[in-house]
Structure 1
């Protein structure tokens, strides 16, 4: 059997170098930059090409409505949750918009939306932006659903918080590679 060597490719480098940035600066990609990154999402594996997802772009005061939804869902800890929405200048809500289809179950459509979120995070990182994917116990609460004006059949997977990378985070130690023996098997 002729084995091919593993080549270093941009996608490999993007995955190797990606890291979450919980603190970001006030800079963020503009709408046109974001639209360009989203335009390539047609390459995400998507059984029957349903595109069962959408992204809601939250900037400025739009983040405050998101924060109010979190606060309403949180009850007693309102202030703590209200401020979570403004931790980054750009918050991208990842929405699953399932399509009724007898061939493609909802869990598979959710996997497509997850793939879009992960790929978008990688592309944003590769473009020089700090990104972290956030979720939490309130993600699928009714007040948060209403704050995002989601359709009756839609639900959130979480949010990508996006901003500039602080200088202190620009030089980071690479992660240790994963041990493939723990996660790869053959039959």
Structure 2
């Protein structure tokens, strides 16, 4: 296997991580590399927000507010570093909104692969509150932005059991374009 194929094939989500986390200096080159995903017209319709320490408590309060609860959710405390993935839509007559969101999602996925390859445990978390006003306000989102979730990042704990995730049988997901039925083709056929 090539390095990339091996990294992708062995990737898994880490729901439990240790308190270790990459520094900003370690994170910057990974974000730079992740930003090289396919991006029609190079709009770069995304941004990432680091949440460490007290930022996670603030997010916990915003999540509870979005759910109509008092206090602070402990969900953001499950990892020492959260990276908020933000679709930052750009005005374009050529590139639709869905394609810009796909680019932001691609950056998040690429970053999760790079973090995993660098030895960090990563889990992409979402939830109905990602699109709530209190959570958007806590992240300082603009009107042209939407939160797609967070990458929860921390150290990989010692592996106690193998991953339960089975390999994908590509034959069920990869097909050819259907053949054209006789009499429905264009005049050039």
CA contact (8 A) 2:87 2:145 kept: yes
Give unmatched runs, 5+ long, in structure 2: 178-189
Name which of 114, 129, 133 aligns with 2:124: 133
Tell me the distance in 2 between the aligned counterparts of 1:181 and 1:167: 34
User: Residues of 2 paired with 1:150 and 1:173: CA distance?
Assistant: 36
Tell which structure's C-alpha radius of gyration is larger: 2
Q: Find the aligned partners of 1:166 and 1:16 in 2 and give their Cα distance.
A: 20
SS at match of 1:160: strand
Superposition deviation, residue 108 in structure 1 = 0.1
Normalising by structure 1, we get a TM-score of: 0.90
Q: State the alpha-carbon separation in 1 of the partners of residues 53 and 2 from structure 2.
A: 37
Q: CA RMSD in A?
A: 1.4
Match of 1:184 in 2: 174
Equivalent residues, number: 177
Q: CA deviation at 1:42?
A: 3.8
Pick from 78, 83, 87 the counterpart of residue 87 of structure 1.
78
Tell me the SS of whatever aligns to 1:104.
coil
Q: CA deviation at 1:175?
A: 4.2
Q: Deviations over 1:128-183 (max 9, x none)?
A: 000000001111000000011111111100000000011135x6247432112210
Match of 2:9 in 1: 16
Identify the residue that residue 60 of structure 1 maps to in structure 2: 53
Question: 1:42/1:147 Cα in 2 relative to 1: closer, same or farther (>3 Å)?
Answer: closer
Question: Which structure shows the bigger proportion of residues in helix conformation?
Answer: 1
* Farther-moved stretch of structure 1 (177-186 vs 152-161): 177-186
- The match for 1:165 is 156
Give a deviation string over 1:43-72, Cα, whole Å, max 9, x none.
200000000000000000111111111010
Question: Which aligned runs of 4 or more in structure 1 are off by greater than 3 angstroms?
Answer: 173-176
Q: 1:82 to 1:176 in 2, by over 3 A?
A: closer
Question: Deviation of residue 39 (structure 1)?
Answer: 1.2
Q: SS state of the match for residue 56, structure 1?
A: strand
Structure 2 Cα separation of the partners of residues 83 and 37 of structure 1: 27
Q: Secondary structure at the match of 1:138?
A: helix
In the alignment, the residues of structure 1 paired with residue 154 and residue 65 of structure 2 have an alpha-carbon distance, to the nearest angstrom, of 26
Matches within 5 A, 1:3-152: 8-76=1-69, 78=70, 82-152=73-143
Aligned CA distance change for structure 1 residues 42 and 130 (closer, same or farther; 3 Å): closer
